[in-house]
């Protein structure tokens, strides 16, 4: 068997597509691309695809779920703007030798990492 060659997409379960789309499109600035349907919306992010879905089959079966990290250029600007918009923060800015990042929550409790490589 050949090894897995890449990630096809990352998907987050959501209960309310309108609320989710408001957050991902208006708050984070993602634009729909690929599939854009009532219960499944894809966003092209760099070379990858991030999707949101209200399909019951993908709802988490354990607490905590998965995670996604979005790469940005001006992380300090993102941090400031998201604070001003009242987004729920999981962490403050974290500074590591290779990167900076912070975690926020989407409206459904999914963790979203905002990340900048150094």
Read off the pLDDT of residues 85-106 as tens digits, 9 standing for 90 and up: 999 999 999 999 888 989 999 9
Location of structure tokens 């009532």: 38
Degrees, nearest 5: CA angle 27-11-32: 50
User: Given 1.10.460.10, 3.90.1300.10, 3.10.180.10, 1.20.210.10, which CATH number is that of 10-56+66-117?
Assistant: 3.10.180.10
Name the DSSP letter for residue 62: S
Read off the pLDDT of residues 47-61 as tens digits, 9 standing for 90 and up: 889 999 888 776 766
Q: How confident is the model at residue 27 (pLDDT cuts 50, 70, 90)?
A: very high
Per-domain residue ranges for the chain? Answer: 10-56+66-117
């Amino acid at each position: 068997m050949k090894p897995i060659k890449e990630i096809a997409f990352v998907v987050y379960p959501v209960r309310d597509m309108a609320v989710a789309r408001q957050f991902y499109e208006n708050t984070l600035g993602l634009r729909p691309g690929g599939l854009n349907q009532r219960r499944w919306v894809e966003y092209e992010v760099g070379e990858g695809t991030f999707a949101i879905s209200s399909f019951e089959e993908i709802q988490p079966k354990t607490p905590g779920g998965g995670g996604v990290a979005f790469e940005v250029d001006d992380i300090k600007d993102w941090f400031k703007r998201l604070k001003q918009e009242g987004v729920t923060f999981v962490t403050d800015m974290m500074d590591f030798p290779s990167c900076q990042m912070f975690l926020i929550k989407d409206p459904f409790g999914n963790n979203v990492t905002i990340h900048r490589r150094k």
